[in-house]
Structure formats: C-alpha cells, structure tokens
A and B are shown apart, each in its own frame.
Chain A
Amino acid sequence: MENQAAKELLYKMADDALIIGHRNSEWTGIGPMLEEDISFSSMAQDKIGHSWALFKILNKLGENEPDIVAFTRNAEQFHNCQMVEFPIGEYNFSLVRHFFFDLAEYHRYEMLEDSSLGDLAQLARKIKGEIKYHVLHAKTWMKNLGNSTEEAVSRLQGSLNELYPMALGMFEPSPFEDQIVSDGIFGGESELMSKWRSSVMEIIDQTQLELNIDGDWNPLYGGRSGVHTEHLQPLLDEMSEVVRTDPAAEW
C-alpha cells in the first residue's frame, strides 16, 4: 500500500504524543509545586497539539479526521511505545520518563527537519523549537535533583533502572525501517537511539546517578505493533468519555 511506511511512522509519533500528553495532564492540580504543575500541564498541551498536527498529516494521506482517529480506536489499534502509557506514578517516575522521552523527541524532530515528506519536515522544524523547552525542563530537574539529597538521588536511580528498558521500546524497529530510510523520510530508529544515548549520558554524567547503557537490558517492545499493557485501555476510555456520551457534541 502506498505511503504505508510514512503512515507507520506518523501513527507511532502521534500516538506517543497523544498518550504522554494525557499522562502529563494528570499532574494538573497535583504537581509537587506550582511551577511543576504548570510545566507538566503546558507540556501536555504542547504534546496534544503535536499529535493533532501529526494526525492532520495522516488525514491528508487518506486517514480519518484527527478527532476520530484520536478518540475512537481501541488499545490494540494504538502504536505508542508502552513506556508512555504507564500511570504517572510518583514524581520521580514521571520526571525520568519525561527526560527519556523528550530527549528522543528532540533528536527525532531534528532528524526529520530534512524529511522527504514535506509536511512532516515543515512540522518538525516548528516543533523542534518547542521541544527545546521540554528538554530544558527535563535536564534542569535531572541535574538539580540528581545532585541533591540522598532520597532524591535514590528515587531517581530507581526510576532510571525501571524506565530504561521501557525507554528502549521507543526505538522498536519498524517493519518499514529500510524503506523509510531509503525513501529519505526518516533516518531510522537505530540512528535515533544512538544520538539519544549520547544525550542521555551527557546529563547522567553530570549527576550522582549511574546508568550502564551497555548493560544487558531487555527492551520493552510491542507497543509499535499494538501490544499494550493493561494501563492503556482505561486511559483511552477516560479520554473518550465525552465523545462516547455525545458523538455530535460541539465545544
């Protein structure tokens, strides 16, 4: 099928942004301090805006309208990596997830600035500027807390170990990997992962935290092909509650 490789890429990016966006929004009202409440809420709004823009490109490629695609699919039709669907947990979990996720997003959009898919290249150039602020936020707090009290360091260390294999799931190879690279749409997941690993370590090395990236990690794959944890469907049910109650509602 035409454009299948591009669609696979766009769907996984859009679904990642939509789901992490909704998870981030769960910090609204309960952030550990007002500024963090606002930060996670703002990032949520950005991410959901990004997913909308990606769904718009898919729409131009023949897929359904953004709202329909976002709110009427079931878990097994979602292509987000599993990491983004886990509940927010405690702040250390959400912070480390945000750190891993946004560093990858930054490099992904950077690589897409020259994509042969014109609409995506245009969007990437725009979004990269926004993600810069998400990355700044993640790095600042990783460095601050990763050099602070014993409790902060040990909490972050625990989350790093827990989340690293989940984060590797972001780079699950696509069945269209060769095609997407040769078509000039995207440089590929393995190149992205190597850029990401360098950026992650650059920050970790400035803290009291440790991460053995060459260790024997078992990546949490499956999300890209619709295999999800028990956490995704309840989230989707909540997201689509209004639209299921009244599909014709306008607001």
Chain B
Amino acid sequence: MVDPGTIDPKILDILQEVKDPEIPTISLLDLGVITEVRIGENEQVRVEMTPTFVGCPAMDYMKRDVENKLEQNGYSDFEVNVSLEKPWTTNNITERGKKALKEHGLAPPPHLEKIVDIDILENVKCPYCESDNTELQTPFGPTLCRSMHFCHSCKQAFEQFKPL
C-alpha cells in the first residue's frame, strides 16, 4: 500500500476512482499495484506501478486508465512508470480492497508471512457461505491472479484471489 504520509490527499481521492478493469469493485490503489505517488513542484505527478503477475495483459490498460484520470483532473505534467522495483504481493491489498474482492464474489487472499506455504490454497473460506469445507480445484483460473475452488457446504464453485 502506498504510504499516504507525504501525498496530497486530493490526488489519492482521484486515483481511488481508477478501478481494476476486470474487478470493478476494487481500486488500483486498494489492489496495491500503485506503489508510489509523488507530487513535485508545479503539480508534477509521478506514479509508480507494478503488475500483479508478470504476464498480466491488463497492465497497459491500468496504466492508461491512471494517465487518463490524471489528465481529466487537470494534470498535464505526469509520468506513470511500470517496474518490478517494489514487486506486488497480495499483502499489498488493503482491508478495503479485500472487502471489495468479496463483494465481487472472490475469496480474498490470506495475509502471507515470509515463507509461502502452498497449503493455504486448501480450505479457503467460501465467499458466499463462509464455510471452510472447500476444496482446491486448480491453482489456476480465468485470470492469472485467481485459483478455483468448490464449496461442499453450499455446493458452489468460487474463485480466490490467490496469494503471491
């Protein structure tokens, strides 16, 4: 999550309006793919972004959406840069972001400690009925950042934003 300490809250409010192109309930800020926002003299804006997965095909759209939003709000001197300098992990997702994922019917990822244990893909809490009686179907899904699960309690398939 971007450290809001030094950022003009006005620009954070503007960026908060830029949503994930495939999960419109979550903002890019809450998703944690915007890693740095700096405002220099003369309202010069510099935004650092990083992809969720290296091959994420939505990265260019996200970058363009941020640029468009800045432009619409009267900023003319800005630079949006994509790098792996501060690599994304699911721990970048804010609490508000996790709620937004759930609203979209996606199980939010658990908080990861230093060592990632793959077992956390098992018994993921069902976003529909909260049951733990669930099973991993495949660690892959309709987008690179999701895995697929089945809930034995409510008999529904669901997806998880998988921990990385």
| Chain B binding surface, main DSSP class | loop
Question: In the complex, what residue of chain A is closest to B83 when comparing beta carbons?
Answer: A122
Kindly state whether residue B56 has any CB partner on chain A within 8 Å.
Answer: yes
Q: Give the contacting residue for B116; candidates A35, A45, A129; CB below 8 A.
A: A129
Kindly state whether residue B57 has any CB partner on chain A within 8 Å.
Answer: yes
Kindly state whether residue B133 has any CB partner on chain A within 8 Å.
Answer: no
Given the known inter-chain contacts A45-B57, A130-B164, please indicate yes or no for A38 contacting B138, CB distance below 8 A.
yes
Given the known inter-chain contacts A126-B87, A133-B162, please indicate yes or no for A39 contacting B53, CB distance below 8 A.
no
Given the known inter-chain contacts A122-B84, A136-B118, please indicate yes or no for A127 contacting B54, CB distance below 8 A.
yes
Kindly state whether residue B55 has any CB partner on chain A within 8 Å.
Answer: yes
Which chain B residues border A43 with CB–CB below 8 Å? 140
Kindly state whether residue B94 has any CB partner on chain A within 8 Å.
Answer: no
Kindly state whether residue A53 has any CB partner on chain B within 8 Å.
Answer: yes
Kindly state whether residue A123 has any CB partner on chain B within 8 Å.
Answer: yes
| B85 close to A122 (CB less than 8 A) | yes
| A38 close to B141 (CB less than 8 A) | yes
Which chain B residues border A123 with CB–CB below 8 Å? 54, 84
A94 to chain B, nearest CB (A): 15
Kindly state whether residue B139 has any CB partner on chain A within 8 Å.
Answer: yes
Given the known inter-chain contacts A35-B138, A38-B141, A133-B139, please indicate yes or no for A49 contacting B53, CB distance below 8 A.
yes
Q: Give the contacting residue for B140; candidates A49, A122, A125, A137; CB below 8 A.
A: A137
Given the known inter-chain contacts A129-B89, A129-B164, please indicate yes or no for A137 contacting B54, CB distance below 8 A.
no
Which chain A residues border B141 with CB–CB below 8 Å? 38, 42
| A46 close to B55 (CB less than 8 A) | yes
Which chain A residues border B74 with CB–CB below 8 Å? none
Kindly state whether residue B142 has any CB partner on chain A within 8 Å.
Answer: yes
Which chain B residues border A41 with CB–CB below 8 Å? 140
Question: In the complex, what residue of chain B is closest to A130 when comparing beta carbons?
Answer: B53
Which chain A residues border B55 with CB–CB below 8 Å? 45-50, 52
A interface residues, how many (CB within 8 angstroms) = 26
Kindly state whether residue A197 has any CB partner on chain B within 8 Å.
Answer: no
Which chain A residues border B87 with CB–CB below 8 Å? 122, 125-126
B138 to chain A, nearest CB (A): 4
Q: Give the contacting residue for B54; candidates A38, A42, A50; CB below 8 A.
A: A50
Kindly state whether residue A132 has any CB partner on chain B within 8 Å.
Answer: yes
Complex Cα distance, B140 from A214, in Å, reads 35
- Please name 12 further chain A to chain B contacts, defined as beta carbons within 8 Å, in addition to the given A45-B144, A133-B147, sorted by A numbering: A35-B137, A35-B148, A38-B148, A42-B141, A45-B55, A46-B55, A49-B144, A122-B87, A130-B144, A133-B139, A136-B118, A137-B140
Q: Can you show 10 pairs from A to B with CB atoms below 8 A apart?
A: A36-B138, A39-B140, A45-B144, A46-B54, A49-B144, A50-B54, A50-B55, A53-B54, A122-B85, A129-B116
Q: Measuring CB to CB, which residues of chain B are less than 8 angstroms from any residue of chain A?
A: 53-57, 84-85, 87, 89, 116, 118, 121, 137-142, 144, 147-148, 162, 164
Top-3 shortest CB links A-B: A49-B55, A42-B140, A35-B138
